[in-house]
Structure 1
């Protein structure tokens, strides 16, 4: 059996707000949830599981590969929603996107403070 990525748990302050943020931004349907998790399902059966741990949340980085059309719609939602965003991970180019790696990209923070990246072309 080849190795594939199955799921990750994303620590958040408000699991419903974070799941809703990603569902709306990335145009994803609701997925069955259970226990302490609110789930979002990506292509290939990959689950993002949002949970509220009883500890301080450390920032993580998550990058999503999207097509050009979804990038345009998601970027418009970020701008229209007043979400601060940058063309670079060091946050030195505010309010911009980048054209690195033969595609486009943008960085922003989700409601829990995680560093999120949308890209239209994989790095490799």
Structure 2
């Protein structure tokens, strides 16, 4: 059996708000809190468990997506007025020309988590 990542804890100012934000941008479903986590299923093997903490320190989470998913994420970011950019230091420059792939972008949430979305085409 290969090693796969099952879940990771994502620090949040407000776990449910962070889970709703992430799910809405990524085109995923948020089904509600479970105990002190606000889980979002990313795929069959990975769940992000958002957890409220007093002083969240942002993490970097990177995702490979197909071109259609990338287009949807970009459209949802634009519609919501969420800044994005092509560099972790300029995650608000509005560009998608990524140095590691054909198209990519970064965006952040209110806890400082830096999300990277990369598409091969």
TM-score under structure 1 length normalisation: 0.85
Is the alpha carbon distance of 1:92 and 1:107 closer, same or farther for their aligned partners in structure 2, counting shifts above 3 Å?
Answer: closer
Structure 2 counterpart of 1:98: 97
Structure 1 counterpart of 2:88: 89
SS at match of 1:117: strand
| Alignment length (residue pairs) | 120
Identify unmatched segments of 5+ residues in structure 2.
none
Identify unmatched segments of 5+ residues in structure 1.
none
C-alpha RMSD of matched pairs (Å): 1.9
Segments ≥4 residues shifted beyond 4 Å: none
Alignment of 1:8 with 2:8, yes or no, is yes
In 1, the alpha carbon distance for the partners of 2:30 and 2:11 equals 19
- 1:61-111 alpha-carbon deviations (Å, 9 max, x no partner): 111111111111111111222111111122187111114334210011123
Structure with more strand by fraction: 2
Q: Which moved more, 1:100-109 or 1:8-17?
A: 100-109
